[in-house]
């Protein structure tokens, strides 16, 4: 009798664990996008893939260390399960009080256009354009990219335009 009772409890526990994991707080839009990225890179639309854990962040490390902007984006027509191609944006700016209308002074960074495992192009020379804070709301910062152009070693360029809603952390 104890054997059957323990098997019943194990089966019940296994069933409940599956039932509970399927009941999540999934607020994604039906198309898989989350509306946080409305960017174009060289005219092509890009979005975040929330299932891949890709999100956009702004981290303020204080006056001496500056601000770090990180984002991993995928072509707008890609599926949530696609890992390639993707764009990795990493920018550093001088530390400032973030407020609407603030233009960030970029001092370093790159955009890496990843096409496959260990393959892609890295654009790491900031040529022109600007990044402006368009909204600060709680734990998010919205950035506006206005013709931000970066070049690679062969002087090929990528141009970023549009808005990006980022999770904001001040350390």
pLDDT 10s digits, 127-146: 999 999 999 999 999 999 99
Cβ contact 171:64 at 8 Å: no
pLDDT digits (tens, 9 = 90+) for 87-96: 999 999 999 9
What residues does each domain of the chain span?
32-170
Closest CA to 169 of 139, 145, 143: 139
33-37, 106-110, 126-130, 150-154: the lowest-pLDDT one: 33-37
Q: 159 phi and psi, to 5 degrees?
A: -125, 130
Q: How confident is the model at residue 1 (pLDDT cuts 50, 70, 90)?
A: low
Average pLDDT over residues 66-72: 96
3-state secondary structure string across 23-91: CCCCCCCCCCCCCCEEEEECCEEEECCHHHCCCCEEEECCCCCCEEEEEEEEECCCCCCCCCCEEEEEE
Predicted TM-score (pTM) of this structure: 0.77
28-32, 52-56, 144-148, 153-157: the lowest-pLDDT one: 28-32
Provide the pLDDT for residue 24.
38
Q: 82 CB contacts (<8 Å, ≥6 apart)?
A: 49, 74
Cβ contact 153:123 at 8 Å: no
């Amino acid at each position: 009798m104890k054997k059957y009772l323990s098997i019943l409890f194990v089966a019940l526990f296994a069933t409940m664990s599956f039932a509970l994991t399927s009941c999540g707080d999934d607020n994604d839009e039906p198309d898989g996008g989350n509306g946080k990225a409305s960017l174009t890179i060289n005219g092509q639309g890009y979005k975040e893939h929330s299932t891949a854990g890709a999100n956009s962040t702004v981290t303020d490390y204080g006056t001496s260390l500056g601000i770090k902007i990180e984002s991993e984006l995928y072509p707008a027509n890609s599926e949530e399960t696609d890992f390639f191609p993707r764009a990795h944006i990493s920018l550093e700016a001088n530390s400032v009080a973030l407020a609407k209308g603030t233009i960030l002074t970029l001092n370093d960074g790159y955009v890496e256009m990843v096409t496959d495992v260990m393959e892609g192009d890295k654009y790491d020379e900031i040529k022109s354009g600007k990044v402006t804070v368009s909204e600060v709301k709680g734990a998010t910062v919205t950035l506006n990219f206005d013709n931000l152009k970066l070049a690679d070693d062969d002087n090929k360029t990528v141009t970023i335009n549009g808005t990006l809603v980022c999770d904001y952390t001040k350390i």
